[in-house]
Chains A and B, each alone.
Chain A
């Protein structure tokens, strides 16, 4: 059974007039459609979107395009933390190379480009990459998998609609939070729907069952 957010109707952007101007502008810009890719080629960016869709279990292509576009401009502007394991290429090169090898594996394994695989086939291939069950020259597949998932997490969970979904009440300057203790909420924090909480518990998710 599919159980979604326990915060239906919560939209963190409704609170954005209460945020400081710089934060508001930054987050509003994150909602804009991306410009043309500058670091990745068009086929690479399409591949990146498809991979992110599987890694993050997201179907909304507009959202995925934004996430991929923001990753592209981050790599293009060379903003990443510069640390990496000795013997590995810098992040951008690692991702680009890995995407090409992934595409080659799709053809090898399924005789079709990655974009034409079914979701199950995509997941099967990504699982092989994660477990290192593909024969790649030059870069370790597991390192590619960790890096692309890590970056995907960073940019995906920085999107305000995802904050709304998970119930992150968001930036709070200059207002702050004042009702902090267990069971207390400030008036603008999300209210969970008890029926949806119960549905999540029934599906083995949601709040832990009380032991006492």
Chain B
């Protein structure tokens, strides 16, 4: 192990209180909370430390650099695309390019087994997370409607709903109105009025590429600067390759790769916030003689119950110019079909978002839907401005056979590339069928002619699920490993079920709750 003196890290040769792995949506929250509590914290990030004004541009193609680029393999009946739509790279992680849609999970999401006889119950309830959602809605802050018709929170949101809304968003509103379906402004972590030194949104439309005016929240511009100010040491370009575990089952720190060299960092607590692919992968890569199945894996469930949302796109041609590039990509939503319908045709449901599109997103969806090329494809492109798109966020039930495992191929770091195996179950397909049908009805009611249905997925979840029983879960209700008292997971990997809401604010709420627990355990001398 080489430790030259010109390395940029002050805390390398000390034992710190906490190492957080992953500077994305949840790592940022945990770092700020633990840093401002006075703990000595190191925040590890595989990617670069982006600077918005230097690194961000208004271009779909170029901004794919904010997606995870190292090799990942996919398998199963429905092998997902794992690119820009799903992953993040660099400080800010997925919040750099998420659409900033931040509804809470519904109360029913936490009790699927009890209420529906499927999946499993979470070891936390909706009420447990309410104070954290509330705090985050003020912290980010969230702009949304005065009255929100679904779930456990009916508003009002701290910041007013965005106004005006673009033509592509009006289409959802009008279609729903004509069908008697309620629709509403989506709660967004995008400013409708100034907040500190951040201006309101300029409707530029490039949320999924990275916000330039900083009207959209990301941990890059919000939590992580606050963490650094509180003394957290951020290390970028550092790929953690192993969590180190002692003979007493306590973790002792990590090893990580920086410019091809391996280094070690000792810590009293390790918190993994590396995503539903990288978190289980890291635990599996950390196998040792005492834990040949990987760390935190006495249950054998690390990497199991991996989930995505179905994210089918339904695209319709309209009699007028929709100009789908303008405005915040997702501004209007309906969560009317979130839960199990009375007719028993499916368990659980979906949300539908109006979804603007820039040319690459649009043309890729068109090609995926019908595999047209040549003249047919080019003519659709020339009609780009007449099309509007709705996107599904469909619940996918947890299945033990959807997994993250280690493949025999190596990634750019020389580490075993993760293999993501994913297949939809019967109920998942029923949710998709109903969701696509409803999207079509809404678009047609608004005067559109549906031409393309493109399969897609979004949001990686699960793989280290939480639970009360160490036999059937990886971590407890605080995100603490059942097997290692000072190893925590605080990202979407611990999701027990997928819900049908964009998961970011719920993942951040859980992470903040874990950070509070860690603070209290330190205070009591238990860590």
Within 8 A of A (CB), among B141-174: 164-167, 170
CA A175 – CA B166 in complex, angstroms?
17
A22 to B51, CA, bound (A): 13
Are the C-beta atoms of A57 and B72 separated by less than 8 Å?
no
Taking a contact as CB atoms closer than 8 A, the residue among B326, B359, B374, B382 that contacts A205 in the complex is B382
Q: Which residue of B lies closest to A190 (CB)?
A: B385
Q: Closest approach, in angstroms, between the C-beta of B354 and any C-beta of chain A?
A: 12
State which of A90, A153, A189, A208 has its C-beta within 8 Å of the C-beta of B71: A90
Q: Does B74 contact A (CB under 8 A)?
A: yes
Q: Give the nearest-CB partner of A201 in chain B.
A: B319
Is A130 in the interface zone, CB < 8 Å from B?
yes
At the interface with chain A, which of B27-35, B201-209, B244-252, B257-265?
Answer: B201-209
Q: By the criterion CB–CB under 8 Å, are A83 and B382 in contact?
A: no
Binds B, one of A109-117, A133-141, A176-184: A176-184
Q: Scan residues 130-167 of chain A and give those whose CB is less than 8 A from a CB of chain B.
A: 130, 146, 149-150, 153-155, 157-158, 162-163, 165-167
* A172 vs B319: C-alpha distance when bound (angstroms): 26
Q: Does A43 contact B (CB under 8 A)?
A: no
Whether the Cβ atoms of B59 and A23 lie closer than 8 Å is yes
**Bound Cα distance A170, B165 (Å):** 19
Q: Is there contact, CB below 8 Å, between A82 and B71?
A: yes
Which of A19, A57, A158 contacts B378 (CB under 8 A)? Answer: A57
Residue of A nearest to B277 (CB): A83
The chain B residue sitting closest to A212, CB to CB, is B447
Give the contact-size bracket for chain B. Answer: 35 or more
Min distance, Cβ A170 to any Cβ of chain B, angstroms = 8
How far apart are A14's CB and chain B's nearest CB, in angstroms? 16
Q: How far is the CA of A153 from the CA of B75 in the complex (A)?
A: 25
Q: Is B412 an interface residue (CB 8 A)?
A: yes
Partner of B320 from the list A154, A171, A177, A183 (CB cut-off 8 Å) is A183
Q: Which A residues are in CB contact (< 8 Å) with B64? A: 79, 81
Map CB proximity to A onto B336-378 as digits: 1 under 8 Å, 0 otherwise.
0000000000000000000000111001100100010111011
Verify if B216 is at the interface (C-beta below 8 Å from A): no
Is the CB of A200 closer than 8 A to any CB of chain B? yes
Closest to B86 in A: A83
Interface digits, B459-483 against A, CB 8 Å rule (1 contact, 0 not)? 0000000000000000000000000
Question: Contacts A153-B367, A169-B325 hold; do A180 and B74 have CB atoms under 8 A apart?
Answer: no
Q: Does B84 contact A (CB under 8 A)?
A: yes
* CB-based contact A182/B81 at 8 Å: no
Contact flags B51-89 to A (C-beta < 8 A → 1, else 0): 000101111111011011111111100010111100000
Q: Please pick, from A54, A57, A163, A183, the residue contacting B359 in the complex, using a CB distance under 8 A.
A: A163
Considering the chains assembled together, what is the distance between the CA atoms of A173 and B59 in angstroms?
11
In the bound complex, how far is the Cα of B371 from the Cα of A20, in angstroms?
36
**Is residue B383 contacting chain A, with contact meaning CB distance below 8 A?**
yes
Which residues of B283-340 have CB atoms within 8 Å of chain A's CB atoms? 316-323, 325-327
Are B58 and A207 in contact, CB atoms less than 8 angstroms apart?
no
Tell me the smallest distance from the CB of B277 to a CB of chain A, in Å.
Answer: 10
Say yes or no: A158 contacts B360, CB within 8 Å.
yes
Q: Does A185 contact B (CB under 8 A)?
A: yes
A165 to B380, CA, bound (A): 12
**In contact, B447 and A211 (Cβ under 8 angstroms):** yes
Q: Which residues of A contact B320 (CB under 8 A)?
A: 182-183, 207
Contact status A85-B202, CB under 8 Å: no
Output the residue of A19, A85, A166 with the most chain B CB within 10 A: A166
With A85-B75, A85-B79, A158-B61 in contact, do A177 and B317 touch (Cβ < 8 Å)?
no
A41 interfacial by beta-carbon distance below 8 Å: no
Contact of A180 among B316, B327, B374, B382 (CB under 8 A): B327
CB atoms of B165 and A157 under 8 A apart: no
A75 within 8 A of B: no
- Residue in A closest to B76 when the chains form the complex, CB atoms: A86
Beta-carbon contact of B449 and A177 below 8 Å = no
B217 on interface, CB distance cutoff 8 Å: no
- In the bound assembly, the distance between CA atoms of A13 and B27 in angstroms comes to 40
Checking B54, B79, B319, B374 against A54 with a beta-carbon cut-off of 8 angstroms, the contacting residue is B374
Q: Which residues of A contact B325 (CB under 8 A)?
A: 168-169
Q: Report the separation of the CA atoms of residues A162 and B363 in the bound assembly, to the nearest whole angstrom.
A: 12
* Nearest neighbor of A142 in chain B, beta-carbon distance: B371
Q: For the complex, give the distance between the alpha carbons of A67 and B385 in Å.
A: 23
Note all chain A residues with C-beta closer than 8 A to B447.
Answer: 208, 210-212
B399 close to chain A: CB less than 8 A: no
The answer to whether A154 touches B317 (Cβ under 8 A) is: no
CB pair B67–A208 under 8 Å, yes or no, is no
Task: Please give, as numbers and ranges, the residues of chain A lying within 8 Å of B75 by CB-CB distance.
Answer: 85-86
- Which of B68, B167, B385 meets A82, CB within 8 Å? B68
Chain A: which residue is nearest B203 at the CB level?
A177
| CA A162 to CA B377, docked complex, whole Å | 13
List residues of chain A with CB within 8 A of the CB of B411: 82
Q: Which residues of B contact A176 (CB under 8 A)?
A: 201-204, 213
Determine if B202 and A175 form an interchain contact, defined as CB atoms under 8 angstroms apart: yes
Q: Chain A: residues with CB nearer than 8 A to chain B?
A: 4-6, 19-20, 22-23, 26-27, 54-58, 78-86, 90, 123, 126, 130, 146, 149-150, 153-155, 157-158, 162-163, 165-178, 180-183, 185, 189, 192, 200, 205-212
- 13 sampled A-B residue pairs with Cβ under 8 A: A19-B58, A22-B56, A54-B373, A153-B363, A157-B360, A158-B360, A166-B359, A171-B206, A177-B203, A182-B320, A207-B318, A208-B448, A208-B449
Binding site for A on B (CB under 8 A): 54, 56-62, 64-65, 67-75, 79, 81-84, 164-167, 170, 201-206, 212-213, 316-323, 325-327, 358-360, 363-364, 367, 371, 373-375, 377-379, 381-386, 407, 411-412, 417, 419-420, 447-449
Extra pairs beyond A83-B81, A180-B327, A207-B386 (13, CB < 8 Å): A19-B58, A26-B57, A56-B374, A81-B84, A86-B73, A86-B419, A153-B363, A162-B381, A163-B359, A166-B381, A200-B382, A205-B379, A208-B449
